[in-house]
């Protein structure tokens, strides 16, 4: 870790690297297992896996697992009449051992489709507010469907960048294979928890 690097654990410092990390995401087919995606490093080692439980399990529920298959985050979309009438639907990510206020990791506000172009996707992080002057901690800027977006903190720093892999830039871009660059010291589990929600939002909207 460099002298100026700051460790910013949100899920756990176990998921914070001493240097910038480039990871590859490969989506799984949206079949009976619910789809989701696998995250690998440059040596093809599995770092994370996301299971989408919507096909045969609970709709609006995702599980982020580590490389050993152990659950890290349980992510649920908040349903109900209030959410249906509101401008934003909410996704909440919890530590998997206990679902309660003290274990809430993040809240992501999903704009309705007809307002999506005019509303940023913003994320609040439990009680670990990084910038008390703003009512959000992180913002997704750019186009996730085009795999050209970034997760920015409330101070304007880019903490993770989603983009097309260099070897595929001259070929047809596939939404099923892309890379994510996570800056040093930042929590990779949080980043892929947010990406899991983005993947579900945009994949779900393209099914029909």
Using one digit for the tens of pLDDT, what is the confidence trace for 80-129? 554 445 556 899 999 887 555 568 999 998 876 544 444 679 999 976 55
Q: What are phi and psi of 155, to 5 degrees?
A: -90, 0
Q: Is the pLDDT of residue 132 over 70?
A: no
- Whether domain 13-205 has CATH 1.10.110.30: the reply is no
Euclidean distance between CA atoms 182 and 150, whole angstroms:
10
Q: Is the pLDDT of residue 62 over 50?
A: yes
Predicted local distance difference test score (pLDDT) of residue 206: 45
Euclidean distance between CA atoms 93 and 141, whole angstroms:
20
**Cβ contacts of 130 within 8 Å, gap of 6 or more:** 8, 137, 153, 154, 155
- Comparing 58 with 202, which gets the higher pLDDT? 202
**Cβ contacts of 169 within 8 Å, gap of 6 or more:** none
């Amino acid at each position: 870790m460099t002298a100026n690097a700051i460790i910013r654990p949100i899920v756990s410092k176990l998921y914070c690297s001493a240097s910038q990390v480039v990871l590859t995401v490969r989506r799984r087919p949206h079949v009976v297992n619910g789809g989701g995606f696998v995250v690998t490093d440059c040596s093809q080692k599995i770092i994370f896996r996301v299971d989408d439980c919507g096909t045969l399990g609970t709709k609006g529920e995702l599980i982020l697992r580590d490389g050993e298959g152990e659950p890290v985050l349980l992510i649920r979309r908040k349903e109900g009449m209030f959410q249906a009438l509101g401008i934003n639907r909410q996704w909440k990510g919890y530590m998997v051992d206990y679902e309660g206020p003290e274990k809430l990791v993040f809240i992501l506000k999903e704009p309705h489709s007809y307002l999506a172009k005019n509303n940023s996707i913003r994320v609040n992080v439990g009680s670990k507010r990084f910038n008390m002057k703003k009512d959000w901690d992180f913002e997704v800027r750019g186009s996730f469907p085009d795999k050209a977006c970034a997760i920015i903190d409330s101070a304007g720093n880019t903490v993770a960048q989603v983009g097309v892999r260099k070897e595929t830039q001259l070929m047809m871009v596939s939404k099923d294979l892309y890379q994510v660059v996570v800056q040093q010291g930042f929590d990779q589990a949080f980043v892929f928890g947010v990406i899991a929600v983005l993947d579900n939002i945009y994949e779900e909207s393209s099914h029909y």
